[in-house]
């Protein structure tokens, strides 16, 4: 049996119906097509959309009342700014802490990083701040203001390049870092607000004239004006090309820096103001307020993921993560790029397990690793034959609460399906076997939802669909992780003594794998929130926190905080309980929350009437 995928994808079985109801429709056009005249694109691209809640960040930075906007990546930090608080924040890319703040009046129009400093325009002072990367001290203010608050400063060829508000016209100011003086002023097309440096050239977008001016830094002259789609604003240089986000049409233009020609116009279906674009980790990334995360494959020019919902603003890529500022939510996220494709719609086969049935060391079949099932409803299981010589007749063998069943697989195109008609809560243990043979794949396990069917299918909402899970409370010496397969080893080890448990383990690690798969599925759909609290080195899970819909009348939610025997020895429980109670009270949209076993004895809780 192969190892489970690092990121099991969330779209499987019943989730497709939920996704179809949540996501907008539209059509993805071929690359190079652009938009026909007078046609307003629909929001987004069909077939690649999923709710934003499906993306679970690896880190969240809570900036309080500051609405973060622009982002910059340096060797040991990530920076963001907030016009609302006149502040630039420096964040540690390894954890969720803010390392420092720098006061800057109305910071705007992006960042540049070079010559040992962060370059940060101020829209109020019409200057560019230079902030020492080592000390966080302002070492210079250069009297050059940005042309627009929604633009971008660049650095390359030994100089900073700022589309500026000089009274002589629309220009790009070249700033010498040795003197902090403007060494050249280059005239560009009206409405030019954003500059990027890449491929030994300076690229400047004109939102007004729908073109990109190309400046050669050796001569300070515009060597080309490249027409692009309507109203380009933000740009990125990377993955072999220069990219513009065109606000008028909701497209992205791809420019070949060698020929200075447009090679593709990609319909992303996201017209409107704001947004950002970045490159890195083998992709082009976009963010707008209604679709905080969008991914484009730069080799195929296809949109591969659009996550729909609250959040989003600026994006950057660095330190192995994609970084996203959520201005309205006052947070910055970092997440591994593969999490985005794990959240996007896709075939069950991308998360399936390969099995060798005949012992020759080569995979014979591909078996669906089902994420969850709804009790009382049929459960479908899929397989694909990888080795036609192995045979064509297979059966599904299941165990559920002591009951066994065998169901034949039937062919459906290039795959096969078996349906278990009678299901009930807890675990389905299942294996695929060659018919009339002892050759069977190792057993897999799938767990039913923690919640009722109404919550599991989102017929009843646990939280509003605009809710974004808040960062967990900081605990010195500990780190949080949602319960998911990535911490299966730590979670299973913790089960032996969690919540005062003693005696031999009754569940297997495969059953716990089914549980953590399901926990992540519920977290993504916001039907339940389950966390593990780990030691700072992430080697051991010492506590769990479960936030679920209440099964008792009169309460919105129940919260359970349980620790392991080691957690008890560390005297973690009182501190954790207090932190969780304050966190739930201040950050979750519940009216009345119960803490069974803490606020009232369990017999008293169990005696309360159930929700009808």
* Digit-coded pLDDT (tens) for 162-181: 999 766 568 999 999 999 99
Does residue 165 share a domain with residue 288? yes
Cα torsion angle, 434, 436, 437, 442, sign: positive
Please indicate, yes or no, whether residues 331 and 362 belong to a single structural domain of this protein.
no
**How far from the centroid of its chain's Cα atoms is residue 57's Cα?**
5
- Asked whether residue 589 is assigned to any structural domain, the reply reads yes
Question: In this model, does residue 368 exceed pLDDT 50?
Answer: yes
- Give the Cα separation of 191 and 233 in Å (integer): 9
Contact 552, 592 (CB under 8 A): no
- Sign, Cα dihedral of 324, 326, 327, 332: negative
pLDDT band of 290, cuts 50, 70, 90: confident
Residue 602's alpha-carbon distances to 591, 594, 605, in angstroms, are: 21, 11, 5
Last residue of a domain, one of 302, 328, 343: 343
Q: Report the alpha-carbon distance of residue 297 to residue 284 in Å, rounded.
A: 7
Q: Is 125 left (phi over 0), alpha (psi -120 to 50) or beta?
A: alpha
Report the 10 Å Cβ neighbour count for 164: 27
Indicate whether 313 and 406 sit together in one domain: no
Paired residues of 327 in beta bridges:
none
Overall average pLDDT of the 535-542 stretch: 95
pLDDT-derived band at 42 (thresholds 50, 70, 90) equals: low
Section 345-371 average pLDDT: 95
* Sign of the CA dihedral with 218 first, then 224, 225, and 229 last: negative
Contacts of 573 (CB under 8 A, 6+ apart): 543, 561, 563, 567
CB atoms within 10 A of CB 70: 24
CA distance 532 to 541: 6
- How far, in Å, CA of 316 to CA of 297, rounded? 16
Give the global pTM. 0.85
Tell me whether residue 371 is in a domain: yes
Question: Per the structure block, which two tokens stand in for 512?
Answer: 């716990």
CATH of the domain at 525: 3.40.630.30
Task: Provide the residue range defining the domain that includes 178.
Answer: 51-343
Q: Note whether residue 2 is domain-resident.
A: no
Mean pLDDT of the chain: 91
- What span, in angstroms and rounded, lies between the C-alpha atoms of 564 and 497? 5
Statement to judge: residues 319 and 383 lie in one domain: no
Range with the largest mean pLDDT of 166-175, 214-223, 466-475, 597-606: 214-223
* Non-local CB neighbours of 529 within 8 Å, separated by 6+ positions: 469, 482, 522, 523, 546, 547, 548
* Residue 352 to residue 355: CA distance in whole angstroms: 10
pLDDT beyond 70 at 122:
yes
Q: Are residues 161 and 195 in the same domain?
A: yes
d(CA 401, CA 611): 25
The larger pLDDT score, comparing residue 21 to residue 191, is at 191
12 pLDDT above the threshold of 50: no
Q: List beta partners, residue 124.
A: none
Same domain, 104 and 172: yes
pLDDT band at 18 (very low <50, low <70, confident <90, very high): very low
* Domain-embedded: residue 12: no
pLDDT of 329: 87
Q: Which residues contact 535 (CB under 8 A, 6 or more apart)?
A: 477, 478, 479, 542
Asked if the model's pLDDT at residue 560 lies above 90, the reply is yes
Confidence grade of residue 470 (pLDDT, cut at 50, 70, 90): confident
Domain end among 287, 313, 343? 343
- More confident: 224 or 53: 224
Cα(457)–Cα(479) distance, integer angstroms = 31
- CATH code of the domain in which 135 resides: 2.130.10.10
Asked whether residue 330 carries a pLDDT value surpassing 80, the answer given is yes
4, pLDDT greater than 60: no
Instruction: For residue 367, give the CATH number of its domain.
Output: 2.60.40.10
Going by C-alpha positions, the residue among 154, 150, 201 that lies closest to residue 173 is: 154
HSE-up of residue 40 (Cα within 13 Å, Cβ side): 2
Whether 7 is covered by a domain: the verdict is no
390 close to 441: Cβ distance less than 8 angstroms: no
Contact in structure between 87 and 81 (CB atoms under 8 Å): yes
pLDDT surpasses 70 at 20: no
Together in a domain, 536 and 395: no
Q: In this structure, are 376 and 490 located in the same domain?
A: no
Domains held by the chain: number: 3
352 with 443, same domain: the answer is: yes
Q: Which of 13-17, 184-188, 198-202 has the lowest mean pLDDT?
A: 13-17
Confidence check: pLDDT of 69 > 90: yes
Percentage of the chain lying above the pLDDT 90 cut: 83
Environment class of 575 (CB within 10 Å of its CB; exposed 0-12, middle 13-18, buried 19+): middle
| Residue at which a domain ends, from 294, 327, 343 | 343
Half-sphere exposure of 170 (CA within 13 A, CB side): 16
């Amino acid at each position: 049996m192969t190892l489970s995928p690092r990121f099991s994808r969330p779209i499987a079985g019943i989730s497709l119906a939920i996704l179809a109801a949540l996501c907008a429709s539209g059509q993805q056009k071929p690359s190079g097509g652009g938009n026909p005249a007078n046609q307003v694109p629909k929001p987004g691209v069909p077939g690649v959309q999923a709710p934003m809640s499906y993306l679970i960040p690896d880190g969240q930075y809570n900036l309080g009342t500051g609405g973060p906007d622009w982002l910059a990546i340096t060797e040991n930090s990530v920076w963001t700014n907030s016009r609302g608080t006149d502040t630039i924040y420096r964040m540690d890319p390894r954890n969720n802490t803010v390392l420092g703040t720098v006061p800057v009046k109305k910071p705007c129009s992006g960042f540049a990083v070079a010559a040992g400093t962060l370059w940060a325009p101020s829209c109020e002072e019409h200057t560019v701040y230079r902030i020492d990367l080592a000390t966080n001290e302002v070492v210079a203010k250069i009297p050059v203001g940005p042309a627009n608050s929604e633009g971008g400063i660049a650095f390359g060829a030994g100089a900073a390049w700022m589309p500026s508000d000089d009274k002589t016209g629309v220009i790009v100011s070249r700033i010498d870092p040795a003197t902090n003086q403007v060494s050249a002023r280059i005239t560009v097309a009206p409405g030019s607000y954003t500059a990027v440096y890449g491929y030994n050239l300076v690229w400047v977008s004109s939102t007004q004239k729908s073109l990109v001016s190309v400046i050669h830094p050796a001569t300070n002259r515009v060597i080309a004006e490249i027409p692009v789609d309507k109203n380009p604003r933000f740009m990125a240089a990377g993955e072999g090309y220069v990219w513009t986000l065109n606000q008028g049409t909701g497209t992205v233009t791809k420019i070949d820096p060698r020929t200075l020609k447009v090679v593709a116009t990609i319909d992303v279906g996201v017209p409107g103001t704001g947004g950002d674009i970045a490159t890195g980790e083998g992709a082009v990334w976009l963010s707008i307020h209604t679709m905080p995360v969008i991914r484009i494959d730069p080799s195929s020019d296809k949109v591969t993921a659009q996550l729909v919902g609250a959040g989003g603003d600026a994006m950057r890529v660095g330190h192995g993560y994609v970084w996203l500022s959520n201005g309205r939510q006052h947070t910055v996220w970092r997440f591994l790029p593969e999490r985005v494709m794990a959240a996007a719609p896709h075939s069950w086969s991308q998360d399936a397990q390969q099995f060798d049935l005949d012992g020759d060391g080569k995979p014979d079949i591909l078996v669906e690793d089902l994420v969850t099932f709804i009790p009382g409803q049929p459960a479908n299981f899929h397989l694909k034959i990888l080795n036609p010589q192995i045979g064509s007749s297979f059966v599904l063998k299941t165990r559920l609460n002591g009951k066994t069943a065998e169901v034949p697989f039937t062919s459906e195109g290039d795959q096969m399906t078996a349906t278990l008609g009678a299901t009930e809560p807890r675990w389905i243990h299942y294996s695929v076997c060659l018919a009339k043979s002892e050759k069977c794949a190792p057993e897999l396990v799938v767990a039913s939802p923690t919640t009722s069917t109404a919550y599991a299918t989102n017929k009843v909402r646990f939280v509003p669909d605009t809710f974004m899970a808040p960062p967990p409370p900081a605990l010195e010496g500990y780190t949080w992780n949602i319960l998911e397969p990535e911490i299966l080893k730590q979670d299973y080890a913790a089960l032996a003594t969690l919540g005062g448990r003693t005696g031999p383990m009754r569940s297997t690690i495969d059953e716990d794998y089914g549980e953590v798969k399901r926990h992540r599925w519920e977290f993504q759909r916001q039907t339940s929130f389950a966390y593990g609290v780990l030691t700072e080195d992430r080697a051991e899970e010492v506590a769990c926190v479960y936030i679920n819909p209440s099964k008792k009348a009169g309460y919105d939610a129940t919260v359970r905080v349980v620790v392991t025997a080691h957690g008890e020895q560390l005297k973690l429980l009182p501190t954790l309980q207090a932190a969780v109670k304050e966190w739930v009270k201040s950050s979750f949209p519940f009216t009345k929350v119960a803490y069974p076993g803490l606020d009232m004895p369990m017999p008293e809780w169990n005696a309360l009437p159930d929700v009808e």
